[in-house]
Structure formats: C-alpha cells, structure tokens
Structure 1
Amino acid sequence: MPFISQIQRQSDYHRFPPSVPIVIDNGASYFRIGWAGESEPRIIFRNIVQRPRHKTTGETVTIVGDHDPALLKYFDCTRSGPRSAFDADVVFQFEIMEYILDFAFDRLGADGSEIDHPVLITECPCNPVQSRSKMAELLFETYGVPSVAFGVAAAFSYKYNQKRGICDRNGLAICSGFTTSHVIPFVNGEPVYEACCRTNVGGYHVTDYLKQLLSLKYPHHMSRLSWEKVEDLKMEHCYIAQDYASEVGLFQKGTKEAEQKARCWQLPWTPAPVELPPSEEEISRKAALREKQGQRLREMAEAKRSSKINELENELNGLEFLIQQLQHVGEKDIPSFLSTTGYVSKQEIESAIVKTTQSLRKAKGEQIENEEKADTSNAEKYNLLNVDDSLLTHEQLKEKKRQLFLKTTSEGRNRARQKRIDEELQREKQNKLEEAKRLENPEAYLEQLRAKYTDLCEKIEQKKRLKTNGGNTNGNGVSGGVGRGERLSAAQKERMRLLTTAAFDRGKGEDTFGIRDEDWQLYKLMSKDNDDEDEKQDEDEAELSRISSRLRDIDPTFTPKTDVGSSVSEASRPRPLTKEDFQIILGVERFRCPEILFNPNIIGIDQAGLDEMAGVSIRRLPSKVRGAEEGMTNSILIIGGSCLYPGMSERLESGIRMIRPCGTSIRINKASDPILDAWRGAAAYAAAVQFPQQTIKKMDYYEKGEEWLRKYQFRYTH
C-alpha cells in the first residue's frame, strides 16, 4: 500500500528479539509507537488518515498524519478530507485504524504483515467491550500479534509520575485530552473506575471555538485561519482566567491592563507602492509620444478631409451635369426624366447643389456666406413650405412634412445653442467681476464667499427639514409635530387649503367644484407652485456647487459639507489597506476559549467542568475506600495537553476548594511531561518481568472468545 509521509522508516526492527513488546499510545490526537524499555517513542504522527486521488492518473494514495501542503497541487483532496478513527475518545472506525496501524508498523521497520512481538496499547477509561474486542480481533487476525495488553493512558502517566515522587499512591488524575476529559481516582496505586468521571470537552473543542470566534471577527482572513495555525495560536497565547467574570469586565472597560494582555498576530502585508512624481525624462518621453500620436491623428484627419472634398466635388459635378441635361429636356418629359434620378423637381436639384457647395466650402475651410445668404439658402432648402397642399403631389406632401420637421428642429437647436452661448458669456462676465472683487480685497471676498456658502447650506437644510417634517419645530430645532398636518411643508399646507376650500366657496356648503372650466385651473396653479419650489431648490443647489468649487480653488483649507444637497455630496473613496488591516488581535479570546473546560455550557454542552468533576469523582468512591477520600485532594495530578495553559493549577485549586470542606488540604501537581508520560509509563511497565502475566494470548482469545475480554482487568501495580 503506497504511503506518503516525511517520517523516516526505522532500520533496526530485526535487532529486537520477539520477547520485546511494542508499546502504542493510541491517542485521539497523536499516535505514538516505540519499544518497551526506551525513554522516547520511535514514531509520532497525527492520528488521522486522508486518501486522495491523483489528478492525472486517478491512483489512490494513503496520507497518514501530517502531510506536505504541496501535495494539493497533484492530488484532489476536496472529496477526501482528514478522517479519524475516534468518536469521543473511543475507536469505532477500524478501517481507518487499520491504515494507521499499517503505517505505524511500516515506519517502525516491520517487513511483512506478521508482527511477532507482544503489543501494549492504550485505551480510554471504561472502554466499551465492543471497541476492545474489535481492536483485539484486528491485532490478532490481521497482524498475527502473539499477545495483547490493554491499559489506560492516564493510569500509566499517573504511575510514571508516582515513581518520580510527583504524586502519591492515593490521589486524583485529571486528564484533559483531545476530545474528552477524565477524572480518575487512585487508591493504593490502582485506578477506581467506579468513581471515574468524564466530560466530552477537550482540546479539540477549544481550538474549534477559537477558530469560530476569529472567523466571525475577521471574516476576510478566514483562509489564513487554518486548523493548524489556530492550534498554534491556542497553545501560544491562551490562558486560564482565575476569575472569568472580572477578566471579562476588564476587557469590556478597555483599560490599559486589557491592552497589555492582548496579543497581535501580524499577517503578511505588502504596502501599497508610493507614487513618485515623474522624472524629466519621463515627462519628455510622454510629450514626444503625445506629439507623435497627434501628428498621426492630424495626418488621418487630413486624409479624411481630402477624401471628403473629392466626394463632394464629384457629387457637385454630377449635380451640375444633371442641371445641364435638364435644360435640353422638354417640360413634358421632365417628370419621366427625374424619376430615374431620384429627385422630384428642378428646385430640389438646385437646393442640393447649394447644400453641396456649402459643405464643400466648409470642408475646404473657406468662410461661409453671411446670414442673408444663409436665409436665402434656407428658403431654397425648404421651398415646399410656402406652397399650398392642393398643388402638391403625394410624394411632395411627404417631402413638405419632412422639411417642416427639419426646419423646426434646426431652429430649436439654434435657439438652444444661442442660449448656451449667452449663459457662457454671462458666466464669464460674472467670473471677471468676482475676480476683480477678489483682487481688490482678497480677505473680505473670501469671508463673504464663506458666509454665502454657510447661508446656502442652512437654507437647503431648512428646505429639506420642511419637506420632511413640516414647519412646526420646537425650540431646539427638532420637529415637534405629531399629526399629519404638522408633518406638511408650507407649500403642501397651501395646496391642502386650496383643495379643502374650493368646494365650499360658493356658499351653503354645496360641493359644486368642477362645474365650471376655470375650476380646474386650480390644479395648474398647485402644479406650478410645486414646480417653482423644485426649481428654486435646484437653483440653490447649483449655486452652492459653484461656490463650493470656487472655494476649493482659492482656499486650500476649505472642506465641503458632503451631507448638504445631493449635487455636492462626494462618493466615498475606498480606503487603502494598511498594516493594521492585516493584524489579528487576540483579546478576550485568549481566556474565553479555554474557559469551556470549566464551563462547557458556553458552547452548548450541558456537562460538568474539571473542578466540579473532581468533586463528583470523590463522592462516587465506594464505601470500602471511603477512608481515603480526604487524602485524594492532597495529590492531584493534571495530565494532557490542555493542562499546559498558564493558570490551570491555580484555577483548579480555587474551584476544588469551593466544593470541598473548609481546611481540606489541596495540592495540585503538573506531570513532568503531560503529553509523553503516558507512553513512557507504558514502556516502563512493558519492560518489567511481570508484564507477560497481564497480556491476552492469541490462543486464549481463540478459545474463550470476545466475551472473555469483558472480565479482563489490567493491574498497574506489580
């Protein structure tokens, strides 16, 4: 079976005799395997399996433990995520467990599938018989192991630290693992499983909770918050608060102490390039390029102009030749002759000649004739407008309508053009007057312009308030109206008065409105008032925009009000990203996430915390060992990766002291190595001479069956 891993394969497997046991610490997070009697495990890897397919060949490979992220370029990992054989610290997926054991024995150096060494493997406290029997079946029948022993990892760690003098024969082992946490009491060096207590909260839930909080806090950096990185942040920055409520209040107030406790993780960030002013060489190069492009455009325009002149000259020559031919045609034959040319009359041809001549002169850049000649040409151009309809044919009537439309449109364009010219002249005149005022007294002119800008702003704001809330405001400028009439503006109130009084102004309260035609002029009056009001507001906003533009030019300190008027509001520009935008701040999350070990209800798990579990376990002790109850709290050993948080021992001591009688001696010790002590204790136990007496032989398993495992009890004291 192909494996992909960076773990080197051991080469001294055959140097160990068959009597040397293989020790396996089968944890939900990490898998550790080595030889009995040694101080360190040979192989350590994550207890997960992933089986992706190659993107090209389609071959399935097995990735056990941590893998190189570069593999994602060659393998499709979207359909096969990391899978674990555990469910709440109990092995239930033995197909995955087989992949893990294959990889572990292969890295240890075993050549074939037959393992001729005894095996000591750890399990969780009170492991179900079904899980233990399936594990025994896998080891006996798949790998041919001669004998197997099952022990609890927390018990091996407790015994290992007991030999080192860290804990006593009677005490408590508080083990906070990857997916579960256990409290196991020990009496005379042996675990009392009847009093064991368990909670389904561990390091996995702390990491998952921290990942959720950071993802909600920084959704734009979710791709950076991988599981491995969040795990590192947890182990590096998280701590246990001695008083959770007071610690939260500290961060809510935002004191200096809270800022000192916060930690910052700076993500990779590249500052935006600074735009430097162009050099003289760059300016000259761009100028030369613009000149070259301009020359090319001028050449293209000249070629287009020459082509147009040629076309107009050819067209003019054709029209003149047509006029010459028309002179030799009789009056009766003119309609038949013109039917082949596309023209209706001789006047139309002459009008086309005049139009083409003017276009040709314009193309050549010659001066166009004066207005009188233009009026004459217009009269010739629109020659059918003064002709009575009865004298025209059907085609000529269509032509007359077209000429009328063209003349009306042309006159409208001329009027609009003249209006724009007049407005531009008036604007230039006003600018010259204002510039003269500014040069005469700049300070007074600037002050006057600012005052006018402020007055216009207030005027527009007042109109907006009146339009929205009406004219009734209290002394503070806040609208005080509560009825519909008080929410109407002055113009709206006037229109309402006209409507309500129009029907009853004839006397006797009779509704006779609408009988006379002049009654309907009322609506035109109201519409006119409304239009006048809108036009005044548009004029004020245009004037405000002009003054604002003028102030920007002459006053560098001027800042326009973006919330006054729709025409002067500027769209907010996107802010460039800075170094602070790529920082992840760990504040309250540092102690909020590990707090679930003591208050699992924070994440919706209705179970007891570690301190409460210790009291429950002591109360569950059977009556035959009730005398050792008082000495239990004098030797409390904390095991597992979650006990590495700063403040864990102090928080456990204060929590247990609250539930125990006053004056109870409480002593909490941390294991010498909370993570590897379980394997070291199991390796030391397997190296003892009495170990074979604690194993299950293959022949006994075949003879007595799985039910015999229910009575199996491992003894930790030689």
Structure 2
Amino acid sequence: MPFISKIQRQSDYRSFPPNHPIVIDNGGSYFRIGWAGESEPRVIFRNIIQRPRHKITGETITVVGDHDPALLKYFDCTRSGPRSAFDSNVVYQFEIMEYILDFGLDRLGADQSQINHPVLITECLCNPVQSRSKMAELLFETYGVPSVAFGVDAAFSYKYNQQLGICSGDGLAICTGFNTSHVIPFLNGEPVYEACCRTNVGGYHITDYLKQLLSLKYPHHMSHLTWEKVEDLKMEHCYIAKDYASEVHLFQKGDKEAEEKTRSWQLPWTPTPVEEAPSEEEVARKAALKEKQGQRLREMAEAKRFNRINDLENEIRDLEMLLQRLRNASEHDILSILAKTVHTSQQEVESALLKATQSLRKAKGEPVENVEKLDPSSVDRYNLISIPDEMLTPEQIKQKRKQVFIKSTSEARQQKKQKQLEEEMERERQKKLEEERRLENPEQYLEELRAKHRDLSEKVEQRKRFKTNGGQTNGNDNGSGGVGRGERLNSSQRERMRLLTTAAFDRGKEEDTFGAKDEDWQLYKLMSRDNDDDDDDKPDPDEAELARVSSRLQEIDPTFFKPEVGSSSAEAPRFRPLTKEDFQIILGVERFRCPEILFNPNLIGIDQAGMDEMVGVSLRRLPPKGRGVEDRMTESILLTGGSCLFPGMRERLEGGIRMIRPSGTPIKIVRSSDPILDAWRGASAYASAMQFPQQTFTKMDYYEKGEDWLRSYRPRYTI
C-alpha cells in the first residue's frame, strides 16, 4: 500500500541474517523499530494514522505518523482526525495496528509478505491476554514471523539502567507514559507484577489539559494552539512545583518572583504601519491640488448655471411670444394655436411663464416670492371658496370642500417650510455664536460643556427613574426601596383605574341603573383612552439637548469616550489598533498546574492515586517475604518515561514519598540515562543476548497450544 512519509526507507535489510531479531517499542505516543544489538532505532514516528480525502477527486489516502504540511494543498486533513490503535495503553484497534506495522516494516526495508526474523515487541504492564493473542495472531498470520517475544517497556528500561549502574537489582521503576503511569517493584532484577500500581494519567492528559486552559484563556488564538505546538510548549515551559499551594499563592500575589516565572510565546504579528506627518511641501502640494480641483468644480458649476439661465430666458421669451399671440388672436384661433403646443389654456401658459420667471430669478440668486401668491390662476383654482353654500349646487359644494382642503394643505406646507427655514437659520446662528465663544476661551467652554452634559445626564436618568418608580410614594414605601403597581402607572392609567373603581362602587350602593342615561356610555370612552394625557411618547427636549452636547463633545474632546466611574452614559471605547502584546500567549500558573495532575488526578476529574501515593500502594502490596527489603527498594527508585523530564519531578516525588514512609527511611531517586529511548535500548540489548531464543515462542507453538498458552507466558528479564 502507498505511504506518505518523509522517513527514508532503509536499504540494508538483506544484510542481516534470518536469526537476527527485530526490536519494536510499541508505545502509545511513538513507534520505534530497529535491529537488536544497535544503540538507536532505525525508524521513529508517531503511533497514529489519518485518512484524509483529496479536495478534488475525493480519493482517500492513509497517512501514518505526522502528516506532511504539503498535503494541506491537496488533501483535507482537518476533517479526518488522528486515530490511535490504543485504548488507554492497551492495543485494541488491530486494523490501525496493521497500518502501523506495515509502515514501520516498510521503512525498515522489509518485504511485508514474509518476515523471516524473530520479533521482540513491547507491551503494557499486565497486558490482557486478548490483546496479546491478537497481536501474536497478526504477527504470525499476516507477516509470517517465525517467533515472537513480549516484554514490558518499563522493565527493559530498568534493566538497561541497571547494567549502566544507575539502579540496583532491588528497587522501584516509576514509568510516566503517554496514557498511563506505573510503579513496578523489582526484586532480584525481576518485576513483581502482583505489587504493581497504575494510574490512567500520562503525558497525553497533561497536553490536553494545557490545551484546554490556553483555549479558554485565548479563544481568539485557538487556530495557533495545535496539538503539536501545545506539546512543544509543555516540554519547554512546564515544571513540577515543589509545593503546589505555595506556588499558587505566589502567582496570586503577582510579585516580582511570579513575573520571573512567567513565560510568553510571541505569535506572528505585523505591526500597523505608522503614518508619518506630511512635510510642508507635501501639504502645500495637496492644498494647491485641492484648490485646483475646487476651481474646476466652480467653473463647471458656473457653466451649468449659465446654460440654465440661457435655457430659462429662451423659454420665457417663447412663452411671452405665445401669450402675446393668444391675447391678440380671436377665440377660434386660440384653439388652433394651443393645439400646436403642450398647453391646453391661456391660464396654463401664464402659470408656466410665472414659474419659469421664478426659476430664472432663483438661478440668478435673486429673492423668490411665493408662487402661490403670484399665480393668477390660483384665483380661478379656488373660485368657489368665497361663495356661500346656499348659492352652490351639491356638486359645487363637493368641489368647494376639495378646494378648501387643497388650499389649506398647501398653505400648511408652505408654513412648515418657512418654519423649518427659520429654525435652521436660528440653529446656524446659535452654532456660530457658540463657535465664537469656544474660540474666545476654549478651556472654559469645554468645562461648561462637560458640566452641562453631567447635569443633563442626571436629569434624564432621574426622569427615567421617575417613570419607572412613580412620582410619589403614596404611603406605600415598604422600607426596601420597592414600589407598588399604582406607582408605576402613568396619569391616564391611574385615571382609568379611578373611573373603574368609582363605577364599581356606585353599582354596589344602589340599584343597578347603569345605561339608562346617555352620559353613562361616555364612561367607556374615557376608560378606553389610555394614552390621551400620557406624555411618555412625546420627545424629551432634554434628551435631544443631551444628544447635541454629546455630539459636540465628541468633536472637540478626545477623552469623551473614556468611561467614567459611576457614569451610566459612558460611550463605548474607540477602536484600538492591535499591538504586539495582543499576539502573546502568556504561560503563568499553567506551567505547573498542568503537570500537577500526575500527583493530583482529581484536578481533571480522575479519582485515582497520584504518583507519590502509588509508591506507598506498591510497597504495601509486596508479598510478606519482600517487606524486609522496602528500605532497599526506596534507595533505588528509577524515573523513566517522557513525563519524568519535567524540572522538579525528582524533588516533588521525594517529598511526597517521605510523607508516607517512616522517618529516617533512606530515599534515593534517579532518572534514567534517556527516559524516552531507554526502553528500546534495553529491549535491543535483551534481544541480542544468547539466551533470547529461549524466551520466545514460535509459530509452531502458537498453532499447537493456541492463545491459552499466551496467558501464562511471562519472560525472564535476567538472562
């Protein structure tokens, strides 16, 4: 099957004899494969697969390990997340495991159809027999492996460091893996599986916890917080606190020591370009260009105005000539003359002449009088208004009412326009006076404007509270600041309630005679008028003035938008350009809070023991014959696994063990020479020993004895 990878394929596979073992460290995080006897694995990649689809053709490929970023151009890697063959630290997805083995053996240079070399593969502590039998079946049936051996990765690491003299034959191996953490006691160089202890917390949970905290803290930078980057931040900046409570208290105070322990990750950021002040020559050039453009626009406007005046003069001349012809012509000729024009009567010609004259005077900038007053046809248009109704027919009365309506509407429109013009002129005058006051004393003017804004704000807020709570307590003050329902009603609603109450009281006193009089039915009209006297919908002049003052302050006061304490009318802050600090990921308390789950798994909702408690549990589980060596075992505690690389791990673990052990107990904690690769190196040294074939089981044994024989399979690490 085709693979997408940047790992080179080995070319010396056929140079190894058939009895040379292949060593596989099948970890939850990384897959390592190589030859027995070597110090380094040949191929290392992440123990995951992805199956993205091509963006155009929809073809699916299999990507083992970390995908190549170049794939993002052609394949959609975002919709297919990484998949692992592990559930916790146990292999259970053997379809994925087959992809992993295919890729690893292919990169090693092997022919996948037939593997003629023995295989040593690591497994988790106390691996279930179902997982072990499926793995044996996969190796025997699919790849034709002649013999297989299983071993615990932490045990190989402990034995390798024992050969280096770092730890002794009796001791404890504390392995912090990707999905789980283990404590394994060793007696005479062999692990005591009955006394082992496990917690389902590992490096994966630390990275996931850190990713969650940073995503909540910086939700606008979630696209940068990829799993790989958070993993790098964890290994680079996280540490184990010697005393978690005191470390949290240190960051709560926020003193200098906390600032020194804070780290930051700068994201890609492009500063906003700063506009330099233009030079005097540039200002003069722009002013000259602006003046030139303005002069051109003025010339165009003047030419347009001149053409408009010429057109109007020609139109007036033609209308005057037409009107002169109509006046000198007989009644029979008038109809023939008008038939050649767009006009239907002499009055219409006079009206068009008057309007054209008004337009000409307006174009020349002369004062314009009301056309309605000067239009002689208006007398004919409203000829029935002054005649009494007694002298008109019913049809003429209808025409008279229509003329009255049209004339009143026209006059009201003209009055409204005149009023608006006067108000606009008054506003311009006030604005001009206000600008003169500002230029005379800008500071005093600004202070007066601010004081006016405060007074108007308080007045508007007080009126709003008055509308909400009522204008008076009416004796209903209950001492808690609350008001009754009647105090929240406006005046018209209170009047309606009074009428209803009075009507009900009158009906209860005497015989019910409501409706006998016509005045009784007027009560319904009064009660239905909820908002006749209500002034809630009327425009508030104070609010309009407040809006005007706020707009004025916005123009002349750059600090107006800053919110003030206790001010309910503070405006929203202005837009602030993003700075370098806005693109920083700050790691403060997260540096030690995330690795703390190794000692307190309840921080992420896992009710299990921490690493220091696991040591005490393992020591208590030792068989009776081994309890006398507890002191010797605490003198040789080996830390292995990727998570033991955190600074402060050894000191924190030693302090936790001293709290659960008797006073004076000797405790020595050491870290393996290479916590990540020591498991593979120990397995490589184990497979290169002469006695290794005695620790394996062959394909023939598997066919004869079946998977039940694997239940009792337990290799010896001291060979």
TM-score tier, shorter chain, comes to 0.7 to 0.9
Cross-structure match for 1:209: 209
Matched, 1:380 2:377: yes
Matched, 1:258 2:258: yes
Contact map agreement 2:469 2:483 (CA 8 A) in 1 = no
Cross-structure match for 1:276: 276
Structure 2 distance, partners of 1:204, 1:596, is: 11
Deviation at 1:211, TM superposition (A): 0.7
Matched, 1:668 2:665: no
Query: How many residues get paired?
Result: 703
Cross-structure match for 2:607: 606
Tell me the SS of whatever aligns to 2:63.
strand
Contact map agreement 2:326 2:337 (CA 8 A) in 1 = no
Contact map agreement 2:24 2:32 (CA 8 A) in 1 = yes
Cross-structure match for 1:69: 69
Contact map agreement 1:316 1:356 (CA 8 A) in 2 = no
Tell me the SS of whatever aligns to 2:167.
coil
Backbone CA RMSD of aligned residues:
4.5
After superposition, the Cα gap between the structure-2 partners of 1:64 and 1:455, relative to the gap in structure 1 and judged at 3 Å, is closer
Tell me the SS of whatever aligns to 2:270.
coil
Matched, 1:646 2:647: yes
Tell me the SS of whatever aligns to 2:209.
helix
Contact map agreement 1:240 1:594 (CA 8 A) in 2 = yes
Give the letter for the 1:114 counterpart. Q
Identity of aligned residues (%): 64
Structure 2 distance, partners of 1:222, 1:139, is: 41
Tell me the SS of whatever aligns to 2:581.
helix
Tell me the SS of whatever aligns to 1:3.
coil
Q: Deviations over 1:633-684 (max 9, x none)?
A: 2221111011111121222222222223333322221111111111111111
Q: Deviations over 1:348-393 (max 9, x none)?
A: 443344334434x24763746656xx56533423522132588799
Structure 2 distance, partners of 1:590, 1:183, is: 25
Tell me the SS of whatever aligns to 1:120.
strand
Cross-structure match for 1:240: 240
Deviation at 1:398, TM superposition (A): 9.1
Cross-structure match for 1:120: 120
Cross-structure match for 1:34: 34
After superposition, the Cα gap between the structure-2 partners of 1:419 and 1:148, relative to the gap in structure 1 and judged at 3 Å, is same
Give the letter for the 1:707 counterpart. D
Structure 1 distance, partners of 2:419, 2:718, is: 110
Deviation at 1:198, TM superposition (A): 1.6
Structure 1 distance, partners of 2:608, 2:134, is: 29
Deviation at 1:463, TM superposition (A): 3.7
Deviation at 1:102, TM superposition (A): 1.5
Contact map agreement 1:472 1:480 (CA 8 A) in 2 = no
Contact map agreement 2:563 2:573 (CA 8 A) in 1 = no
Structure 2 distance, partners of 1:312, 1:399, is: 37
After superposition, the Cα gap between the structure-2 partners of 1:175 and 1:432, relative to the gap in structure 1 and judged at 3 Å, is closer
After superposition, the Cα gap between the structure-2 partners of 1:290 and 1:154, relative to the gap in structure 1 and judged at 3 Å, is farther
Cross-structure match for 1:365: 364
Cross-structure match for 1:23: 23
Q: How does 1:154-233 map to 2 (within 5 A)?
A: 154-233=154-233
Structure 2 distance, partners of 1:557, 1:211, is: 40
Contact map agreement 1:50 1:82 (CA 8 A) in 2 = yes
Structure 1 distance, partners of 2:500, 2:446, is: 51
Deviation at 1:262, TM superposition (A): 1.9
Using structure 1 for the length normalisation, give the TM-score.
Answer: 0.83
Deviation at 1:106, TM superposition (A): 1.6
Structure 1 distance, partners of 2:311, 2:398, is: 32
Deviation at 1:78, TM superposition (A): 3.9
Deviation at 1:257, TM superposition (A): 2.7
Tell me the SS of whatever aligns to 1:224.
coil
Give 5+ residue unaligned stretches, structure 1.
474-478
Deviation at 1:159, TM superposition (A): 0.5
After superposition, the Cα gap between the structure-2 partners of 1:379 and 1:590, relative to the gap in structure 1 and judged at 3 Å, is same
Which segment is superposed worse, 154-163 or 336-345?
A: 336-345
Q: How does 1:575-654 map to 2 (within 5 A)?
A: 575-654=576-655
Structure 1 distance, partners of 2:653, 2:567, is: 63
Deviation at 1:457, TM superposition (A): 4.8
Contact map agreement 2:561 2:572 (CA 8 A) in 1 = no
Which segment is superposed worse, 123-132 or 452-461?
A: 452-461
After superposition, the Cα gap between the structure-2 partners of 1:93 and 1:300, relative to the gap in structure 1 and judged at 3 Å, is farther
After superposition, the Cα gap between the structure-2 partners of 1:347 and 1:66, relative to the gap in structure 1 and judged at 3 Å, is same
Cross-structure match for 1:355: 355
Tell me the SS of whatever aligns to 1:106.
helix
Structure 1 distance, partners of 2:653, 2:20, is: 40
Give the letter for the 2:25 counterpart. D
Deviation at 1:421, TM superposition (A): 4.1
Give the letter for the 1:703 counterpart. E
After superposition, the Cα gap between the structure-2 partners of 1:553 and 1:135, relative to the gap in structure 1 and judged at 3 Å, is closer
Which segment is superposed worse, 177-186 or 660-669?
A: 660-669
Deviation at 1:76, TM superposition (A): 2.4
Q: How does 1:509-588 map to 2 (within 5 A)?
A: 531=535, 538-544=540-546, 570-588=571-589
Cross-structure match for 2:484: 484
After superposition, the Cα gap between the structure-2 partners of 1:560 and 1:480, relative to the gap in structure 1 and judged at 3 Å, is farther
Q: How does 1:16-165 map to 2 (within 5 A)?
A: 16-111=16-111, 113-165=113-165
Using structure 2 for the length normalisation, give the TM-score.
Answer: 0.83
Deviation at 1:29, TM superposition (A): 0.5
After superposition, the Cα gap between the structure-2 partners of 1:628 and 1:418, relative to the gap in structure 1 and judged at 3 Å, is same
Contact map agreement 1:343 1:349 (CA 8 A) in 2 = yes
Contact map agreement 1:504 1:510 (CA 8 A) in 2 = no
After superposition, the Cα gap between the structure-2 partners of 1:531 and 1:441, relative to the gap in structure 1 and judged at 3 Å, is same
Contact map agreement 2:562 2:573 (CA 8 A) in 1 = no
After superposition, the Cα gap between the structure-2 partners of 1:545 and 1:283, relative to the gap in structure 1 and judged at 3 Å, is farther
Which segment is superposed worse, 399-408 or 140-149?
A: 399-408
After superposition, the Cα gap between the structure-2 partners of 1:304 and 1:648, relative to the gap in structure 1 and judged at 3 Å, is same
Matched, 1:695 2:692: no
Deviation at 1:254, TM superposition (A): 3.0
Matched, 1:267 2:267: yes
Structure 2 distance, partners of 1:264, 1:137, is: 50
Give the letter for the 1:383 counterpart. D
Which segment is superposed worse, 206-215 or 72-81?
A: 72-81
After superposition, the Cα gap between the structure-2 partners of 1:289 and 1:138, relative to the gap in structure 1 and judged at 3 Å, is farther
Structure 1 distance, partners of 2:61, 2:619, is: 49
After superposition, the Cα gap between the structure-2 partners of 1:459 and 1:312, relative to the gap in structure 1 and judged at 3 Å, is same
Structure 2 distance, partners of 1:123, 1:48, is: 17
Contact map agreement 2:492 2:532 (CA 8 A) in 1 = no
Deviation at 1:187, TM superposition (A): 1.1
Deviation at 1:286, TM superposition (A): 7.4
Deviation at 1:56, TM superposition (A): 3.8
After superposition, the Cα gap between the structure-2 partners of 1:688 and 1:57, relative to the gap in structure 1 and judged at 3 Å, is same
Structure 1 distance, partners of 2:703, 2:472, is: 97
Q: Deviations over 1:400-432 (max 9, x none)?
A: 777656544443343334334444554566567
Structure 1 distance, partners of 2:117, 2:101, is: 14
Tell me the SS of whatever aligns to 1:712.
coil
Contact map agreement 2:309 2:363 (CA 8 A) in 1 = no
Structure 1 distance, partners of 2:553, 2:217, is: 43
Contact map agreement 1:384 1:400 (CA 8 A) in 2 = no
Tell me the SS of whatever aligns to 2:223.
helix
Structure 1 distance, partners of 2:247, 2:282, is: 62
Tell me the SS of whatever aligns to 2:178.
coil
Give the letter for the 2:50 counterpart. Q
Structure 2 distance, partners of 1:93, 1:415, is: 88
Tell me the SS of whatever aligns to 2:174.
strand
Contact map agreement 1:481 1:487 (CA 8 A) in 2 = no
Which segment is superposed worse, 414-423 or 427-436?
A: 427-436
Deviation at 1:481, TM superposition (A): 3.5
Give the letter for the 1:699 counterpart. M
Cross-structure match for 2:416: 416
Q: Deviations over 1:122-160 (max 9, x none)?
A: 111111122112212222222222211111111100101
After superposition, the Cα gap between the structure-2 partners of 1:163 and 1:437, relative to the gap in structure 1 and judged at 3 Å, is closer
Tell me the SS of whatever aligns to 1:383.
helix
Contact map agreement 2:102 2:112 (CA 8 A) in 1 = no
After superposition, the Cα gap between the structure-2 partners of 1:583 and 1:425, relative to the gap in structure 1 and judged at 3 Å, is same
Deviation at 1:631, TM superposition (A): 2.6
Structure 1 distance, partners of 2:204, 2:543, is: 62
